[in-house]
Structure 1
Amino acid sequence: MENKLSVLEDVYAVIEDRKANPIEGSYVCSLFQHRKGMDKILEKVGEEAFETVLAVKNGEKDRIISETSDLLFHLLVMLSANDIPLEEIAEEFKGRRH
């Protein structure tokens, strides 16, 4: 049985690869190489969080899904930029289950 959430690991792996092996024209690479660095990544996280909140407020399911996907993507970029693997986030969640 396929773990549908493994796509997050796949996306994170691509982000990590782009960080280590920049490809010209890659959006991920542009975030890592932006002259403002972390500020640009955090700006995108904030922008996508706001857009997600608005979609929820307006009850727009398709937009909620789309904006949440954008938000999760930019959160993964933020984690990668801070050298935080998904496993550490998973461990944090596990610790909170008790």
Structure 2
Amino acid sequence: MSRFAEVLGRLAATIEARKGADASTSYTAQLLAEPARAAKKLGEEAVETVIAAAQGDKAGVASESADLIYHWLVALAACGVSLDEVAAKLEAREGTSGLAEKAARKT
């Protein structure tokens, strides 16, 4: 397993453990309690990642990507979507051209 996959798994488990935690002591619990806020933060981090990438800021892309992935995992958890559900969608697209996959979604 890659280092990234290991870290992602640990982070997802930590986020899951924060469900129902005291929101006054946990930022993650705050976001989990407010799915709309979690979604907004995900969008903000996506924009910050795009800006860093457009500027060619390698360190910024790495840092903002970490923020983006954290907030993506929180948004998934807040919406009740598992990583296995995301993996199933990715697996269903394997071996399909990106252009063909996008065209198929329009129908």
Normalised by the length of structure 2, the TM-score is 0.80
Provide the C-alpha distance between the structure 1 equivalents of 2:51 and 2:93, rounded to a whole number of angstroms: 28
SS of residue matched to 1:76:
helix
Runs of 4+ in 1 over 3 A off after TM superposition: none
Kindly provide the amino acid, as one letter, of the partner of residue 10 in structure 2. D
| CA RMSD, Structure 1 to Structure 2 (Å) | 1.3
Residue matched to 1:44: 41
Question: What is the aligned length?
Answer: 93
| 1:6, distance to aligned residue in structure 2 (A) | 2.0
| 1:3, distance to aligned residue in structure 2 (A) | 3.0
Could you tell me whether the CA contact under 8 Å between 2:31 and 2:78 is conserved in 1?
no
Could you tell me whether the CA contact under 8 Å between 1:52 and 1:68 is conserved in 2?
yes
1:31 aligns with 2:6: no
1:3 aligns with 2:27: no
Structure 1 residues without counterparts, runs of 5 or longer: none
Kindly provide the amino acid, as one letter, of the partner of residue 49 in structure 1. A
Residue matched to 1:15: 15
| 1:94, distance to aligned residue in structure 2 (A) | 1.2
1:54 aligns with 2:51: yes
Residue matched to 1:86: 83
| 1:64, distance to aligned residue in structure 2 (A) | 0.1
Normalised by the length of structure 1, the TM-score is 0.86
SS of residue matched to 1:59:
coil
